[in-house]
Structure 1
Amino acid sequence: MLSTSMNEIPVIREDLEASFRQGVTRPLEWRRHQLLQLARMAQDHAEEWLQAIAADLGRPIAETHAIEIGPVVERAIISVAKLETWTAPKVLTDVVPDWQKSWKPTIYRAAKGVALIIGPWNYPMILTLQPLSAAIAAGCCVVVKPSEHAPRFASLLAKLLPQYLDPLAFRVVLGGPDVGTRMMEYRWDHVFFTGGEKIGRIVAEAAGKLLTPVTLELGGKSPVIIDSNYDIKLAAKRILWGKIANCGQLCVSPDHVFIPREKQDEFITALKECYNQFFPNGALGSGLIGHIVNGTHFNRLKSLLSRTQGTIVLGGQTDDKLGMEPTIVADVTVNDSLMEEELFGPILPILPVKSIQEAISRIRSGPHPLMMYVFTDDQEIKKNVLANTISGQITFNDTLSELSVAELPFGGVGASGFGYGNLRHGFETFTYLRSSIDMPRDAEQSLELRYPPFTEEKIVFLGKATYMDIPDN
């Protein structure tokens, strides 16, 4: 993969700044065309995207169709249909007091300017092009930096994007950490970063020096809670499916499971049955699961697994092609190596607990997760978990499916990130609220009370809000 010259970066930034100031991105018809071109780029070259992502991650093509290419096409088309509604000024004459109605109080959604999108390697297409779609809808110019850890995807994007999107407004920059570091030395009007917490902190610190607004889509250890009264076989099937997606390399992958101790063996038996259904000839070499992205992450996972004090009850094997079996580890404690960091791989620790309340307490004692999964039909348990935990999202009785509901906001809280990137929520990320009034000339008589000198009559009038009645509790 070629790398963009360091000298090009400020030139690209200045060129896009000029395009934005000249209003290239302002017309809605232009934005609609760019969004449809984005959809065409994804659709016209579907086979090339499939091959590139398979080469980078070894992922089955069914996953890439369902989670990457399809959503890019669908959400760009939805954005075109919704664009006029999203961008319409909101006139507040129905909510302001009568004496302010003639001022025409209005809220506009205005584009922030030139945005930088830094994409990840694990789902390189959707997590790079989804925020790009939102930025296009918002009317921003954009520099896209795909991850160097998905080099075939990055090279293909650099080749195809200028063939479909207006190069006056959209550019791709290639390179590794050195290029990313240099880019963060310049002022952007918004930075959208998807990746791990470690690099997210670096991005936030660099953005903070220039007071650049930033969205961080990070991750963390997304826990699972299983109620002992829930269908254990169904829970096992849905959890294992969520765990094997992209070989566990997903920011909302089920990271570990809290289950009542007396149900652990039943859960393990169910997981083994599901494993045999999913992989009748074994997972390694089956083509039904991806591989670990590179040697660094592969060795990290092997190290974590080698130090666990839990019992490996399923899987644990690897191969020389960065393949790793889905691996279930029983009787894990909160101080185990597998609980040190987000796993981001096909390892699933099981932590037996005495009660749901113990699981809630364990979750509350750690950083706020990006996602929580709770398997229960008990409405009181659902209320308890909602009231006593904090997470970016929470899904009841399934895994990953919340990602397919594009109308829902998706983002973290605290260490798992902040901000949103899909459909209207993404559009709002790349715009800001610009308030306005238009004071009529004939309002002058009612404004006289604000001008000095301040008579007793004026003071009484201007103090009305200070002394208004406060309701009792």
Structure 2
Amino acid sequence: MSADNLQYTSLDEIRDIYADVNETFKSGATRSLSYRRHQLLQLARMMQENITAIEDALLADLGKQRQESTVAEIGPIVTGSLHAAENLEEWAKPEKPKVEAWRSSWDTTIHHVPKGTVLLISPWNYPVILTFLGLIGAIAAGCPTVLKPSECTPATAAIIAELVPKYLDPKAYAVVNGAVEETKALLDLQWGHIFFTGSTRIGRLVAAAAARYTTPVTLELGGKSPVIVSPDYDLELAAKRILYGKVQNVGQLCVSPDYVLVPRAVSKDFQAALKKVYAEFFPLDPLHKDSPWGRIVNEANFKRVKNLIEETRGDIILGGKSDDNLRVALTVVAGVKLDDPLMEEEIFGPILPIVEVEDVHEAIQIVADRPYPLVVYTFTNSNDVKEEVFSKTNSGTVVLNDTQIQLAVYEMPFGGHGGSGYGAYMGKDSYDIFTHRRGYINVPTEFEPFYAFRYLPYTEQSYKVMTAAARVDIPSE
């Protein structure tokens, strides 16, 4: 299926869908924990019962291998949905914060309430998991949701539109398909929360649209996620794990290793290790007709990636070629300088630049001087190097001695920082971003005698009593 024949949602339908999900929210139907749990289990069933069909769609759109599709896109939705269903009651428990003794009778409570209807805009590179991971949190929080898949992956967008109303409550969870016009129509509406995954450029537009209604936003963007290789680490193992992260979805992944900083003294050995691992990963040339190597999503991105290879001033030591099927071989470029075209923006494709530095300290300084990435990868056995990375750089996440695997750790938040986005999700954090912590107190009538000094007219005595908190003793340092 091409983007030209994907059935787009009409603007009238968008308005009707918006009215329906808002009416469902106002009715209170999604607030019941049993309702939310049922929808979460249905989402897990939707994934599990349609594995082959979803794999087929991802294969059609991206040439993605079936194992990668199910491991990286389908499996995490099943496990994530089940995890949320199992923990929902605990997550939703009202909090009873500890208060000062004089307010102990006020029944101070923090309730978790849904923010409202959610707009979830997902990208083309991981069109299943990056649609439904956010939805898990929205369902758990009790928020009806409109999903807007990417038109760049039409087969996947079509199957999402087909399956969602079959498994989930169609009055609460709906799919809008379309491109710029349809997305703009959605952003013109008022939402309880907007969750966007995609480029920084579009993220800014989404944030600006949300600002019209002071709508809270989660922006999951990207950036140039660096890899620092310390000489103390096993270079061949580092090469293997770095290339593993780079080959996922043909490098079209927001946490893909974007460039490698390696000390000059071990650069040649590291390059040799990359060549050895490359040969192991590709017994067939990536562009061989029988190779399962995936492709770039569309012609525009294909040309962009090809141009990067043509424009680099580095030395291509592996790959560098492409074919007429939108495939670009995994390409490793050595001798890349900081002003090279490959270092300007996020690569988002199968190109790995190698930047030589004097030592690890220079590598850390380079990372520190650049915009905050989504993740900093570091390969080292040294606690000193680890501490220097932590103390001198900033990023959404830090990963030691592996790449991409942080996406499997749903017990910690995943998200960007600064230019790589804001807001974080995964596991309970997915529930939290769609939940408003609503404070509640009940002040007893019997408390009135203690209020004697707060009322007009003020006196010297009332001033002394009511301002006592400002005059407490401050501990000496």
Q: TM-score with structure 2 length normalisation?
A: 0.97
1-side partners of 2:361 and 2:19: how far apart? 55
Q: What residue in structure 2 maps to residue 465 of structure 1?
A: 469
In structure 2, runs of 5+ residues without a counterpart are: 1-5
For residue 357 of structure 1, report the CA deviation from its aligned partner: 1.6
Does residue 93 of structure 2 align to residue 88 of structure 1? yes
Amino acid at match of 1:416: S
Q: What residue in structure 1 maps to residue 334 of structure 2?
A: 330
Does residue 281 of structure 2 align to residue 278 of structure 1? yes
For residue 27 of structure 1, report the CA deviation from its aligned partner: 0.5
Q: What residue in structure 2 maps to residue 439 of structure 1?
A: 443
Contact 2:285 2:291 in 1 (8 A): no
2-side partners of 1:229 and 1:421: how far apart? 34
Deviations 1:2-47 (A, max 9, x none): 1000122222112111110111101000000000000000011110
Amino acid at match of 1:61: R
Contact 1:279 1:288 in 2 (8 A): no
Does residue 203 of structure 2 align to residue 214 of structure 1? no
Contact 1:60 1:287 in 2 (8 A): no
Q: What residue in structure 1 maps to residue 421 of structure 2?
A: 417
Amino acid at match of 1:124: P
Q: What residue in structure 2 maps to residue 50 of structure 1?
A: 55
Work out which of the residue numbers 363, 367, 373 in structure 2 matches 1:369: 373
Q: What residue in structure 2 maps to residue 70 of structure 1?
A: 75
| Counterparts of residues 182-221 of structure 1 (less than 5 Å) | 182-221=185-224
Work out which of the residue numbers 402, 408, 433 in structure 2 matches 1:404: 408
1-side partners of 2:417 and 2:203: how far apart? 13
2-side partners of 1:10 and 1:461: how far apart? 57
Q: What residue in structure 2 maps to residue 35 of structure 1?
A: 40
Amino acid at match of 1:326: L
Contact 1:305 1:337 in 2 (8 A): no
Amino acid at match of 1:271: L
In structure 1, runs of 5+ residues without a counterpart are: none
For residue 362 of structure 1, report the CA deviation from its aligned partner: 1.3
Q: What residue in structure 2 maps to residue 341 of structure 1?
A: 345
Superposition RMSD in Å? 1.0
Does residue 141 of structure 2 align to residue 138 of structure 1? yes
SS at match of 1:99: helix
Contact 1:245 1:289 in 2 (8 A): no
2-side partners of 1:136 and 1:287: how far apart? 40
1-side partners of 2:232 and 2:292: how far apart? 32
1-side partners of 2:386 and 2:206: how far apart? 36
Work out which of the residue numbers 224, 232, 242 in structure 2 matches 1:239: 242
Does residue 175 of structure 2 align to residue 169 of structure 1? no
2-side partners of 1:220 and 1:40: how far apart? 34
Q: TM-score with structure 1 length normalisation?
A: 0.98
For residue 264 of structure 1, report the CA deviation from its aligned partner: 1.1
Amino acid at match of 2:431: F
Q: What residue in structure 1 maps to residue 259 of structure 2?
A: 256
For residue 191 of structure 1, report the CA deviation from its aligned partner: 0.5
Q: What residue in structure 2 maps to residue 453 of structure 1?
A: 457
Aligned residues: 471
1-side partners of 2:254 and 2:292: how far apart? 20
1-side partners of 2:104 and 2:58: how far apart? 55
Does residue 184 of structure 2 align to residue 181 of structure 1? yes
> Sequence identity of aligned pairs in percent?
46
Q: What residue in structure 2 maps to residue 5 of structure 1?
A: 10
Deviations 1:272-307 (A, max 9, x none): 110111111222245443211111101001111101
For residue 421 of structure 1, report the CA deviation from its aligned partner: 2.6
Amino acid at match of 1:382: K
